[in-house]
Amino acid sequence: MDFLIYCVVLVFVRCVQALPLTLVAWLGRRGGALAYWLDGRHRRVATENLTLAFGHEQSPAELRALAREHFRRLGENYLSAVKTSSMTPAALSRHVQFVGTGRLLPASDHELPLSRVFAIGHFGNFELYAWAHHFAPGHTSVSTYRALPQPRLDAVLKSLRAQSGCLLLERRTDGAQLRELLRRRGLLVGLLSDQHAGRAGLWLPFFGRECSTLAAPAIFALRYKLPLHTAICFRAGLARWRIEIGDEIPTHAEGRRRALEEIMSDVNQAFEFAIRRDPANWFWVHRRWKTEPVRPRPTAPKQDWE
C-alpha cells in the first residue's frame, strides 16, 4: 500500500510541476475552497482559533469569511510549493521578492557575512524561505524538518525541498550537525517558531492568551552569538509572494543577556503584527493555544525543536 501511495504522489507531483505556476495557484485556491466544506474538523479548528484571536473585533460572519479565505490560501500555498520546488531561481524571481536583504550584508566587502538565526512561521508559501540564499549572495540556507514515518513519501518531500539548495536537517537526529554548522559564517538558519511547543516551551502571550512557545531561536542566537531576525512570507497576489526580513531582535540589553522569555515575546509580537496585516495568511488549522501546566523554561537546545 505504501508503494502504491508513493506512485500516486509521484505522478501527482509530476503533473503539477508540468503546469504554469499561475494556473497551479488558481487550482490550489479552488481545491482549498472545496476542502473548507469537506474537512469539518480543520474548519472548526480554524474558526475557533480565529474567534480566540479576533472574536472581540470581528463578527461571526466576518470570521467565517476569513476561515474560507484561509482554506483557499492553504490550497494555493501547498500546491504552489510543489511547483516552485522545481523552478529555477531566475524563474522564481518573477514571483517572489525578498525585502530587507540589505540587513544581511557584512560591514565591509572584505568580510564574510555573519550567520543569522531566523524565527520563521507558517506564513504564506513558507517553503520559499529555503530559497533565501539565492536572493542574498554569499549565504547558505539551513532549515530543519521532521521526517515522515513513510520512508518513500519522506524521500519525495525531502527531494522537493532539497531542490532549493537549502541544507536540510532532521529535527530529532541532526541536532549535533546543526550546532556544528552554527560555528560557521554566512548561514541563514530558519527555525519554525509559531506552533505549540508542548510542555518544554515557554508560556508567553500571543493575541492576549498564553501559549507554549519554542525557545530554540533565542537559545541558538544567544549560545552562538548570532543576530536574530524574523522573516515573514506575505501573499502579494495570485502566485506572487513577498518575504520580509525583520529588524534584528535584541538578544542583549545593557551588556547582559536578555531572558529567553523577553526575546521570544518579541518574536511572538512580530508574528502577531504580521498576522494582523493579513489574517488569512497564517496557519489557523493548528491548535496554537492549548491548556497545559506551566513548566520550567528550557536551558539548552533540544534535538526535537517543534
Domain ranges of the chain: 89-281
Check pLDDT > 90 for residue 5: no
At 306 the pLDDT is 37
167 contact partners, CB below 8 Å, separation of at least 6: 140, 141, 142, 143, 181
Kindly tell me if the per-residue pLDDT of 304 is higher than 50.
Answer: no
Task: Encode pLDDT of 174-221 as tens digits.
Answer: 888 988 898 899 999 999 999 999 988 999 999 999 999 999 999 999
Instruction: Tell me the pLDDT band of 92, cut-offs 50, 70 and 90.
Output: very high
Residue 27 corresponds to which amino acid?
A: L
Give the model's pLDDT for residue 300: 47
Q: How many percent of the chain have pLDDT more than 90? A: 79
The model carries a pTM of 0.92
Q: How confident is the model at residue 305 (pLDDT cuts 50, 70, 90)?
A: very low
> What percent of the chain is helix, strand and coil (3-state, nearest 5)?
45, 20, 35
Q: Which range is least confidently modeled, 54-58, 95-99, 131-135, 176-180?
A: 176-180
> Model confidence over 264-273: pLDDT tens digits?
999 999 999 9
Per-residue DSSP letters for 88-118?
-HHHHTTTEEEE-GGGGS-SSTTSPPPPEEE
- Structural contact between residues 168 and 215, judged by C-beta atoms closer than 8 angstroms: no
Q: How far is it, in rounded angstroms, from Cα 275 to Cα 297? A: 26
Q: Are the C-beta atoms of residues 78 and 223 closer than 8 Å to each other? A: no
> Using H for helix, E for strand and C for coil, what is the string for 243-265?
EEECCCCCCEECCEECCHHHHHH
| Of 66, 53, 59, residue with least CA distance to 208 | 53
